[in-house]
Each structure stands twice: as C-alpha cells, then as structure tokens.
C-alpha cells in the first residue's frame, strides 16, 4: 500500500512538472518600454484629447455614456430610453414622443448593447444603435449631435436582448427576442409554452444616407431564449449568428430548468437568402401595433407614428436559410472574429469555449451532416462545424472580443478575469484578474473587420471595496488594460453610470471632425420658433397660451408677461438665438411640473406650465451662460381665472 | 488499495488533461517592480474583503465551521478562494474533515503540496456548481455540471439526493448560494 502510494506520488509529481511547461515565458514580459509608469499611459494632459471614444451603456439607467480612452474621462451621458431632467429629454414637448410605445409613454428602459455603424466592414462613426430590453426598442443616436434621433419599437418581442448589432454595411440592425412569447400575443396558459411560444428575430433596415430605420422582416423562430448575436463579416457576410439558451423551453425556475440540456444552439441565419425571399414577395404580413419615433433635426421635434403590420417569415418556408449549431451549456456571447471565419460560443455554465468554423459549417450544410432537427430546422452535427475548443480558460465565459493580431480576449464572470487566447491554436496566452465579476468587454472596433487592438475595457458588475464606499449601492466600474504587448497590463479603474453593460468604441478622429457645433437658426423649422426678438409674441387660444420666446446673452424676450390666468395651459416655446459654439441657455419656471429646458444654439424647445395660484412668478436661465447670467430672469403675472388682465408682454419697458 | 488505484488513475488523467493549460492561473502576472499596475493574485480579490455585516458567503461558512478544517486548508493551498466568494450563485459541496480523513493515508498531505495545486484545484472545483440548489431541487436533477467542466451524478435514495455517492449531512444558506455538507470527497471521473 505504502509503496503504491509512493509510486503514485512520483508519477503525479512528474506529470505535474510536465504541466508547468512554458512557464519560462514569464521572464520576458513587461520589459523595456512596457515597464514604464502606468500613470503616463492613461494621462491625457489638460487640453489634449483622448485617442478613442468609448460608448458605454448605462444598463438599467437607460442611458449611454461617452468616455475618452485611455483617460476614462466622462464627457456626456446621452439619454436614450430614460427621461433626463438635465437635458429635458422626455420632459420637453419636443422629445416626449421619443418615449412613446404601444404601451403608451414608457420613460425608462434597460439599455444594453451599443454598436456603431459600419461601412465595408469597418466602423464609420456615423451612428450608434442601442437596444432597450424591457419594452423592446432599438434607438439610434446620431454621432454628429450625440442625441437620440430615432426609436423603433419591436413588435412580437420581449426582453429585446440579442440586439442591436449591425451588419458590415449597416444594411441591418438586428434585434432578437430574449423571452419567447405567444406570437401574436394572446391569453393562454403559461404551462403550454413548449411548442406554442415563439422567438422573433427582427431585421431592421437602415437608410444609408439618413439612417432611418424600418423593420424589413421578422423571422419567427422556435420558442428558445435568444441571448446575444453578431453578424458574419468578410467571408461570412450575409449570415447572422444568435446564441440561444432554454432550448428546454421551460418557463419556471429557469436557473435549473433552462440548464438541463448539455448543449443549446447558435442559430445561423442567412439573412441575404431571406432578404431575397422577402423581396420576391415572400413572408406573411401580420397585424400588430408598434411605435416608430423620429426626431426631425429641422423642426427640432419628434413625431411618433403607430405602425399596424409587420412582415413575418417562417424559417421553414426558406429552405437553406436557418441552421442550428449545438453549443455547450447556455451560450451567452456569440462573437465573430475579424476574418468572419470563427464564431465563438461562450457557454456560461461551461468551463470551455466552443469555436465554430464558418467554412466547416458550410461544408456540413453541403454534406448534410445533420444530427436531426428542431421544429424542422436542421441541427448541424456538433463535430461537423467545430473548429476547436479553448480548454478550461476560466469559469463562466461570457464575451469575446478580438484584436488585430489574431488574438481573442474573453471575459469570465465566475472566475472574474480576462483571458487572452490565440485564434486558431486555441492556446491560452495570458490572463488578468478583474475587480470583480466582469461582464462584457470592449476593444475599439471590436465588432468589425478592423479592431484597434491597443486597449481592452472590461466592465465589472461588482466593485465592493474598490472605491470609497457610498452606502449599500456602490459604483460599477470599467477597467482599462493595455493589450499592445504580449501580456495584458491593467492601467486604470474608472467608475461608470448605471450598469456598464456593454460598450462600443472607435478612434476619436472618426467622430471629432463631424461633431456639430450649433444648429443653424436659419434652418430652424420649429412651428413655434421665434427667429428674432421681433418675432416674439404671446398668443392666447382659449385656455391655451403659446409664448414665442427667445434667449440671448443675457435676457429673455419677452421677460415680462401679464394676462395669464389660473387654469391656463402655458407653453413656453423658447428659441436660443445664439449662434456661438457651446452657449446653450436654460430656462425654468417656478412651479412648472416638469424639468428645465436646455436649449442648444439655434434650437427651439418647449415646456408646459399650468399656473395654479395667482401672483407674480419668476423664471430664469438655468445654464450659467454669461457674466450677466444672474440677471437673466423674468416675471409672469398670473391673475384669477375670471380676471380681465389684458394679455401683454414686454422687454425693456414697463407693461402699462 | 482499490481506492488508491482509482486515485492514481484520477491523478494521472487529470494531470494529462491539464498539460500546458492554466499555466498562468493563480500566479502573479506582473513582476517588474517599476510597474505601478502590479497586482498580486494572492490575497487579493473579493475573498479578502472584510465584511461582518452581510450574510457569510460560501468560503466564510467553511472557514467558520469546525468540521471543515481540511477543506479550508485545501482551498487555501489551491488558491481558489475567489471561486467561492463571487456573486454566484453557487452550490458548494463541502466534505467534512472525516470525509477527507477517509481518503488513503497521505493523500491530503500530498495534494496540498504546492506542486499539486492544479490537481487539487480541479478536485475542489468538482465540488462547486453554478446555481442555488436546495436539496429539494437536487432531487429533481439527474446530474450536475461542475465548475471543472465535468458532471457528477445525482441519485435519489429514500427521497434524499445523493451526490456522486456522497450523502448530504447538513445544508447552510450562504450569502452567495448554499453549502451542502457531505460525508465523502467527490473525485472527478477519469473520463469526461
């Protein structure tokens, strides 16, 4: 017995020694230039600009934040699906329609996956798209104004999660449902989910010139949960890949019941084939109801239009368009490398990464190497499309991004780390801890043929002791790593807004030259605009009063108004006459049941005031605009509902 | 004797399985003293945060238990503390000191040697599964996918779940999941 144990030990020792191969590589790292002071690598001197923009979603804040890399400085928080009292988004009359849905005004959503528009497979920096999960929506943010300019609701969807990723010429932005639901919605027992609920994958066209979105078709898939997706590129352009979980089609205690199958699927969708089918009259028009909200840059107003039908496609009607690739254990990330050859599935309950080959997938389809079907959709044999497996790189793989040197970087939620590995050999090259519980990660240009492999940003859900404590809720965070060398190097921690769920980034030079400085007053087509002080007026229409007001440093015109009565609905339509860069004006009225306005040069915005008490009530400029900002104020006289006070207004003289 | 043989096979296969993988795991990644980003992986991370307010996590429960001295020593030797404290949720099967003592003589002593860290880590990960799985839920599951990427079978005997042949003696709710105290060390199968 003892002898046997001894020999066991000896053999184990030898084997263990064997496993330590390649550890010698450690000696060469961080030498030379890489050993420089880390602070210098993230220091952007006062007045200097960052090299990259990073658009980091705010998750449950419903917003999108704009950071510079490598400094981690926050430049702007763009309200998308959430009302923002700072900018009056969703509060002023112009932008309220942006948040309209088939369920009415929904002033919040869960903003997840920003993705920047592309031309020829390369990031073009024109728009960033982002999905709202909860009340399914896709928004478009114009990167010349950094404002949300369009939101389209997604019908037949629920928990719009595998969204909003763009194809390599921004032909489509794609939105996949997380929750399968009855399509169309109907009253039915939950227990009858299996086989009856469906999952919709929505393909939204983007007008190449103006970016206007329009739902082209919805693919009505089996009732799985569709988690994430990414477009094919290069050789696989024309395909789209969606990860799925809950192929069990369970509806309760999902943490257990959706984890029963050894493998779920990555669905491969040949959208070009379906597009052709649809262009030739294929598909079924289904009655539905969804909102399409568009901001007009000339009128500075959004309009909401209810659409009443959507074109649906049954995958079985388009043979050869949809296949399922088995992928272990509830894959989350579904990431395509810059060449378009490899599709990486991150089975979040697996310790391995599964990599599919596009070439092998096509061959498997050609050879009909199928392992059966799911509701008539062919399932490709696991081995047939398998390119390789990254063995035990960490626990809880989540998302993979790529650099421009053939390396991949995967986050691991449970083991809380970023792991660098080699595409093609599947060899683990490096790992760095994240503090803590990292979700997604971002390399600028990551979802394109041309990533900029200088930095990776890891986004952490948990920080616990990493920052000064702020009560039970502490900031979530981003961590910046230098990936220009063989080994990753942690450079910077910075706090983020809401949940930094996902991010997209690109070189600053793509966006900087196109950034708008002012809106031309001449082009202002707002129906209540006053383009000069001579155009200002106050107009009564029954109990509704429209004030055509202007602002310029440092007064409002008019700034004295009389003849308003208790019970009136008073609309302040305020045009900022400034045509100077970075001179917005604000306005707020005591007792107004809404936010301030923050009006950009050349823009008109409107808020509603419903005075409830007689008196003389002041309003003032809320944005510190000038040396005489504190003088920028005015009064409104409110009389009793039955009073005879005449409607008059003035600037620079008394109302007689 | 038979156990020893089995153990031998397990070790051999695990070691082979591990060849050239995870080579950087657990080791400090940055070693230049001029580098300000230097982060030692030892004794950093969520496992080492002082917090006496929140419900103890799986690791803290093990550390606080008089019956899990060997397990805690093993966790520390394998430096897998941080695998037990993340938000999970996790289900941890915690063999008692008696369960470790039932292994062939010298096994534990050998496993906690630094050179066997990977083997030990693999065995320990075989005791952890994602999800907050009560005994009631466990009776409904035929097998569990463990954190080392292998499966352990679950049988139901007399209405109670038996995990890879181990009985659940007690269950303790943790801040990040649940700890089931078991009477046997789970050894990863030699083949996947």
Distances (CA, A) of A525 to A522, A552, B81: 8, 19, 63
Q: Is the minimum CB–CB distance between A22 and chain B shorter than 8 Å?
A: yes
| B12 has a pLDDT exceeding 70 | no
Q: How much is the average pLDDT of B67-86?
A: 87
CA distance B15 to chain A (A): 6
**Nearest-angstrom CA–CA distance, A246 and A227:** 10
Instruction: Output the pLDDT for position A258.
Output: 86
* Close Cβ partners of A138 (under 8 Å, ≥ 6 residues apart): A129, A130, A131, A132, A151, A152, A154, A160, A163, A164, A173, A175, A204, A213
* Close Cβ partners of A11 (under 8 Å, ≥ 6 residues apart): B8, B11, B12
Of A9, A393, A435, the CB nearest to B110: A9
The pTM assigned to this predicted structure is 0.89
> pLDDT below 50 — which residues of chain A?
1-33
Asked if A282 contacts A262 with a C-beta cutoff of 8 angstroms, the reply is no
The tally of CA atoms less than 13 A away on the side-chain side of residue B188 is 26
| B21 has a pLDDT exceeding 50 | no
Q: Is the minimum CB–CB distance between B123 and chain A shorter than 8 Å?
A: no
Q: Say whether B23 and A22 touch across the interface (CB within 8 A).
A: yes
- B137-149: per-residue pLDDT in tens? 999 998 998 988 8
Instruction: Output the pLDDT for position A385.
Output: 98
Q: Which residues pair with B57 in a beta bridge?
A: none
- Here the tokens at position A376 are 């008539």
Q: In terms of DSSP H, where are the helices of A193-314?
A: 254-257, 271-279
Q: Say whether A351 and B49 touch across the interface (CB within 8 A).
A: no
Q: Rounded to 10 degrees, what is the CA torsion of A305, A530, A630, A563?
A: -90
Q: Is the minimum CB–CB distance between A32 and chain B shorter than 8 Å?
A: no
Q: Between B46 and A400, name the one with better pLDDT.
A: A400
Q: Say whether B12 and A15 touch across the interface (CB within 8 A).
A: yes
Q: Say whether B37 and A415 touch across the interface (CB within 8 A).
A: no
Between residues 401 and 420 of chain A, which touch chain B (CB distance below 8 Å)? 413-416
Distances (CA, A) of A428 to A33, A493, B60: 24, 24, 31
Q: Say whether A12 and B83 touch across the interface (CB within 8 A).
A: no
Q: How far is CA A55 from the centre of its chain?
A: 8
Q: Which residues pair with A240 in a beta bridge?
A: A231, A269
Closest listed residue to residue A151, CA positions, set A163, A170, A136, A166? A136
Cis peptide before A558 (omega within 30 of 0): yes
Contacts of B116 in chain A (CB under 8 A): 12, 16
**Nearest-angstrom CA–CA distance, A284 and A545:** 48
Asked if B62 contacts B94 with a C-beta cutoff of 8 angstroms, the reply is yes
DSSP string of A543-560?
Answer: TEEEEEEEEETTEEES-E
Of B18, B89, B110, the CB nearest to A19: B18
- Most A CBs within 10 A among B21, B37, B144, B188, hence the mutation to make, goes to B37
Between residues 106 and 135 of chain A, which touch chain B (CB distance below 8 Å)? none
Between residues 151 and 190 of chain B, which touch chain A (CB distance below 8 Å)? none
State the pairing for strand pair A301-313/A160-166. Answer: unpaired
Instruction: Output the pLDDT for position B110.
Output: 92
Instruction: Output the pLDDT for position B82.
Output: 74
Angle at B103 between CA B98 and CA B109, to 5 degrees: 95
Asked if B173 contacts B182 with a C-beta cutoff of 8 angstroms, the reply is no
Q: Say whether A395 and B147 touch across the interface (CB within 8 A).
A: yes
**Nearest-angstrom CA–CA distance, A422 and A533:** 65
Q: Is the minimum CB–CB distance between B36 and chain A shorter than 8 Å?
A: yes
Q: Say whether A30 and B31 touch across the interface (CB within 8 A).
A: yes
Q: How much is the average pLDDT of B47-58?
A: 78
Asked if B120 contacts B180 with a C-beta cutoff of 8 angstroms, the reply is no
Kind and range of the H or E run holding B17:
helix B2-17
Pick the residue from chain A with its C-alpha nearest to B22: A393
Share of chain B above pLDDT 70, in %: 75
Instruction: Output the pLDDT for position B44.
Output: 67
| B39 has a pLDDT exceeding 80 | no
Q: Is the minimum CB–CB distance between A395 and chain B shorter than 8 Å?
A: yes
SS3 category, A64: strand
- Most A CBs within 10 A among B17, B35, B59, hence the mutation to make, goes to B35
- B133 DSSP assignment: -
Closest listed residue to residue A553, CA positions, set A536, A578, A535? A578
| B132 has a pLDDT exceeding 60 | yes
Tokens 């200097």 correspond to what residue?
A48
**Nearest-angstrom CA–CA distance, B144 and B166:** 13
Contacts of A352 in chain B (CB under 8 A): 149
Pick the residue from chain B with its C-alpha nearest to A263: B145
Largest Cα–Cα separation, chain A: 113
Instruction: Output the pLDDT for position A259.
Output: 84
Q: Is the minimum CB–CB distance between B12 and chain A shorter than 8 Å?
A: yes
Between residues 427 and 486 of chain A, which touch chain B (CB distance below 8 Å)? 427-428, 430-433, 435-437, 461-462, 464-465
Is ipTM beyond 0.95? no
Closest listed residue to residue A441, CA positions, set A480, A405, A476? A480
Q: Say whether A414 and B83 touch across the interface (CB within 8 A).
A: yes
Asked if A434 contacts A417 with a C-beta cutoff of 8 angstroms, the reply is yes
Q: How far is CA A421 from the centre of its chain?
A: 27
Q: Is the minimum CB–CB distance between A392 and chain B shorter than 8 Å?
A: yes
Q: Is the minimum CB–CB distance between A3 and chain B shorter than 8 Å?
A: no
Contacts of B39 in chain A (CB under 8 A): 432-433, 490
**Nearest-angstrom CA–CA distance, A518 and A118:** 26
Q: Say whether B23 and A38 touch across the interface (CB within 8 A).
A: no
The tally of CA atoms less than 13 A away on the side-chain side of residue A71 is 17
CA distance B155 to chain A (A): 16
Q: Is the minimum CB–CB distance between B26 and chain A shorter than 8 Å?
A: no
Distances (CA, A) of A168 to A106, A185, A238, A243, A340: 32, 33, 9, 19, 11
Q: Say whether A462 and B118 touch across the interface (CB within 8 A).
A: no
**Nearest-angstrom CA–CA distance, A293 and A414:** 40
Closest listed residue to residue A68, CA positions, set A400, A507, A482? A507
Asked if A161 contacts A146 with a C-beta cutoff of 8 angstroms, the reply is no
Pick the residue from chain A with its C-alpha nearest to B46: A436
SS3 category, A205: strand
CA distance B108 to chain A (A): 12
Kind and range of the H or E run holding A459:
strand A455-460
- B107-127: per-residue pLDDT in tens? 999 998 999 999 999 999 999
Contacts of B25 in chain A (CB under 8 A): 431
């Amino acid at each position: 017995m003892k002898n046997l144990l001894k020999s066991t030990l000896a053999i184990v020792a030898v084997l263990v020694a064997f496993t330590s191969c390649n550890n010698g590589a450690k000696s060469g790292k961080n030498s030379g230039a890489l050993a420089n002071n880390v602070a210098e690598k993230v220091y952007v001197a006062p007045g200097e600009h960052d090299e990259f923009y990073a658009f980091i979603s705010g998750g449950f804040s419903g917003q999108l934040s704009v950071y510079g890399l490598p400094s981690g400085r926050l430049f702007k928080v763009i309200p998308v699906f959430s009302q923002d009292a700072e900018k009056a988004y969703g509060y002023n009359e112009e932008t309220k329609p942006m948040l309209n849905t088939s369920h009415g005004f929904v002033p919040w959503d869960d903003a997840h996956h920003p993705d920047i528009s592309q031309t020829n497979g390369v990031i073009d920096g024109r728009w960033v798209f982002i999905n709202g999960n909860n009340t399914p929506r896709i928004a478009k943010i114009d990167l010349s104004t950094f404002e949300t300019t369009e939101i389209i609701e997604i019908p037949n969807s629920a928990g719009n999660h595998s969204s909003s990723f763009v194809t390599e010429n921004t032909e489509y932005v794609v939105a996949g449902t997380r929750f399968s639901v009855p399509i169309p919605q109907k009253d039915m027992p939950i227990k009858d989910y299996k086989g009856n609920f469906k999952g919709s994958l929505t393909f939204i066209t983007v007008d190449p010139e103006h970016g206007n979105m329009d739902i082209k078709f919805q693919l009505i898939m089996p009732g799985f949960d569709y988690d994430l997706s990414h477009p094919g590129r290069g050789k696989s352009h024309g395909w789209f890949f969606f990860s799925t979980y809950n192929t069990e089609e369970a509806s309760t205690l999902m943490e257990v019941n959706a984890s029963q199958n050894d493998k779920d699927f990555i669905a491969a969708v040949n959208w070009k084939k379906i597009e052709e089918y649809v262009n030739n009259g294929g598909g079924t028009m289904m009655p539905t109801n969804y909102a399409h909200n568009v901001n007009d840059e000339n009128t500075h107003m959004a309009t909401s239009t209810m659409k009443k039908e959507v074109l649906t496609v049954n995958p079985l009607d388009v043979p050869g368009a949809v296949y399922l690739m088995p992928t272990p254990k509830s894959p989350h990330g579904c990431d395509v490398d810059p060449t378009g050859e490899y599709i990486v599935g991150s089975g979040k309950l697996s310790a391995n990464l599964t990599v599919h080959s596009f070439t092998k997938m096509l061959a498997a389809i050609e050879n009909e190497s199928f392992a059966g079907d799911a509701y008539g959709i062919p399932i490709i044999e696991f081995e047939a499309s398998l390119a390789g497996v990254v063995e035990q790189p960490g626990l809880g793989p989540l998302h993979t991004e790529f650099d421009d040197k053939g390396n991949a970087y995967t986050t691991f939620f449970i083991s809380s780390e970023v792991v660098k590995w080699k595409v093609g050999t599947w060899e683990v090259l490096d790992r760095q801890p994240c503090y803590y519980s990292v979700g997604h990660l971002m390399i600028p240009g990551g979802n394109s043929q041309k990533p900029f492999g200088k930095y990776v940003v890891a986004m952490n859900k948990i920080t616990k002791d990493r920052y000064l404590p702020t009560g039970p809720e502490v900031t979530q965070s981003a961590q910046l790593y230098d990936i220009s060398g063989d080994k990753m190097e942690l450079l910077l921690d910075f706090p983020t807004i809401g949940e930094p769920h996902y991010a997209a980034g690109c070189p600053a030079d793509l966006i900087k030259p196109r950034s708008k400085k002012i809106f031309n007053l001449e082009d202002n087509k707002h129906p209540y605009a006053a383009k000069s002080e001579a155009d200002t007026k106050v107009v009564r229409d029954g109990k509704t009063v429209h004030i055509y007001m202007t602002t310029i440093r440092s007064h409002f015109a008019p700034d004295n108004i009389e003849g308003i009565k208790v019970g009136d609905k008073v609309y302040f339509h305020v045009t900022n006459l400034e045509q100077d860069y970075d001179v917005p004006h604000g306005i707020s009225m005591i007792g107004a049941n809404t936010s301030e306005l923050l009006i950009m040069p050349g823009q008109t915005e409107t808020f509603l005031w419903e005075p409830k008490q007689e008196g003389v009530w002041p309003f003032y400029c809320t944005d510190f605009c000038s040396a005489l900002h504190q003088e920028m104020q005015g009064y409104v006289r409110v009389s009793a509902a039955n009073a005879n006070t005449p409607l008059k207004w003035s600037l620079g003289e008394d109302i007689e | 004797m038979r156990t020893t043989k089995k153990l031998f096979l397990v070790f051999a296969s695990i070691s082979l399985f591990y060849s050239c993988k995870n080579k950087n795991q657990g080791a400090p990644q940055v070693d230049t003293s001029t580098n300000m980003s230097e982060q030692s992986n030892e004794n950093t991370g969520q496992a080492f945060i002082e917090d006496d307010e929140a419900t103890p996590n799986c690791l803290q429960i093990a550390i606080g238990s008089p019956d899990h001295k060997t397990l805690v020593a093993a966790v520390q030797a394998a430096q897998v503390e941080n695998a037990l404290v993340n938000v999970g949720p996790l289900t941890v099967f915690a063999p008692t000191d008696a369960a470790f003592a039932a292994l062939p003589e010298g096994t534990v002593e050998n496993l906690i040697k630094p050179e066997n860290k990977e083997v030990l880590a693999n065995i320990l990960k075989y005791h952890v599964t994602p999800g907050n799985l009560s005994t009631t839920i466990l009776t409904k599951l035929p097998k569990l996918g463990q954190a080392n990427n292998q499966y352990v079978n679950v049988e139901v005997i007399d209405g109670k779940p038996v995990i890879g042949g181990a009985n659940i003696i007690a269950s303790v709710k943790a801040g990040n999941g649940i700890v089931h105290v078991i009477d046997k060390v789970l050894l990863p199968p030699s083949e996947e």
